[in-house]
Chain A
Amino acid sequence: MDYIDYYKILGLSKSATEKDIKNAYRKLARKYHPDLNPNDKEAERKFKEVNEANEVLSNPENRKKYDQYGKDWKHAEQFEKAKQNQQQQRQHRTYQGGGQSFNESDFSDFFASMFGSAGSRQGGQSVRFRGQDFHAELHLNLKDVYTTHKRTLTVNDKNIRITIPAGVANGQEIKIKGHGGPGINGGPGGDLYIKFLIENHPTFKRVKDDLYTTVDLNLYTALLGGDITIDTFDGKVKIKVKLETQNNTKVKLKGKGFPVYKKEGEFGDLYVTYQLKLPTALTEKEKELFAELAKLR
């Protein structure tokens, strides 16, 4: 746990007036407010810092203690009495927005050691807010989301069984109603948001509902045509290779791609790119025959 320079966080000097503090706080709060910076964890962190700095410096009593004892925070027991007084005045408020959420009680250890887990908040309207929305990430591989299946997750010591619909997209979020934090000041409870992070498969790449893959094609099948069998998520599929197929030729297998989210029976397409593999370690006889072929050209 390190000493935190609250003046530096607000970009102020120790001689800053109350008005300077208020102005600096408002300016930085507008800059880093989670509602204005959706999905930005760095902004969320800075907003917490700015709030904490303001909690201390905007309260003359806290500021005095901080100026006097800040660097000796390890002797925090000296503030125990003050802490007890403050605990009676605690007021928590939850900020949420754009996929971000946090509670003001989430102060640094440094702050907690000097002022208790939450400092006193002066004034302000006691607005009732819905409980904190919880956000969780679930890492899945591509094969996992090819079919609809159920999973049991443990969130905040509670087991929740969820259905993961086939075709869910990378980065997509689903909302589980009522599994967030309790309401603040009598507000309704929050929700749980689960974000799916899907890794691409080693041989299949997904773009929306379509899949892309590359398969090796030997020289003879490429030249003379024929049948090859390839693996798909739906099992093995036989493809007819056309006569004189060129390297990097792309063919579309309609309906063999990824299931379309929440549209049962609908699938994207599978695009197969042929990668020509030339024979190596030719025998004398093969060399002779290729030389003969070359002469014909």
Chain B
Amino acid sequence: MEEPTIISITTFCTQYNVPETFIQSLREYDLLETVREGDMEYIRVTHLQRVEKMIRLHFELNINMEGLDVVNNLLQQVWQLQQENQELRDRLKLYE
């Protein structure tokens, strides 16, 4: 049996015990892209980890939507720098 690639927003919110308005806000701030099929809206399973992180940051650290946007952008930069750093370290090994 193939694993599902999307999860309905209603199921997600029940499972994670978060209000649906939270997901709507993420979408309005372009922090999450949802998929519409008929009357239902879905979240891609590949986005789950990112949404979980935003739930934690929002509910545990009281970071608002604008803050989540900034955090996301900065974390993306951190990730790119870490990748670049790893590549440079590998290259440096050539001279060791």
Residues of A that sit less than 8 Å from B by CB:
26, 29-30, 33, 35-36, 38-39, 95-98, 125-130, 170-171, 185-188, 200, 205-208, 212
Q: In B7-30, which residues have CB < 8 Å from any A CB?
A: 15-18
- Known interface pairs A127-B18, A128-B17, A208-B87; 7 further A-B residue pairs with C-beta atoms within 8 A, sorted by A's residue number: A29-B60, A29-B61, A35-B53, A38-B82, A127-B59, A187-B16, A207-B91
Interface size, B (range): 20 to 34
Q: List 30 A-B contacts (CB under 8 A).
A: A26-B61, A26-B62, A29-B61, A30-B63, A33-B56, A35-B53, A35-B56, A35-B57, A36-B71, A38-B78, A39-B82, A95-B56, A95-B60, A96-B52, A96-B53, A96-B56, A127-B16, A128-B15, A128-B17, A129-B16, A129-B56, A170-B90, A185-B17, A187-B16, A205-B93, A206-B90, A207-B90, A207-B91, A208-B87, A208-B90
Main secondary structure of the interface of A (DSSP, over half): loop
Q: If the complex has contacts A36-B75, A96-B52, A207-B94, are A125 and B17 also in contact, measured as CB distance less than 8 A? A: yes
Residues of chain B within 8 A of A185, CB atoms compared: 17
Residues of B within 8 A of A36 (CB): 57, 71, 75
Distance A208 CA – B87 CA, assembled complex (angstroms): 8
Structural contact, A212 and B82, CB atoms closer than 8 A? no
Of the residues A33, A127, A130, contact of B57 by C-beta under 8 Å: A33
B61 partner residues in chain A, CB cutoff 8 A: 26, 29-30, 33
Contact of A98 among B59, B75, B91, B94 (CB under 8 A): B75
Say how far A179's CB is from chain B's closest CB, in angstroms. Answer: 15
Q: Which residue of B lies closest to A170 (CB)?
A: B90
In the complex, are the beta carbons of B59 and A125 less than 8 A apart?
yes
Minimal beta-carbon separation of B38 from chain A (angstroms)? 25
Cα distance, A254 to B32, chains bound together (Å): 43
A35 (CB) vs chain B CBs: closest residue: B53
Contacts of A200 in B (CB 8 A): 93
Any A CB within 8 A of the CB of B55? yes
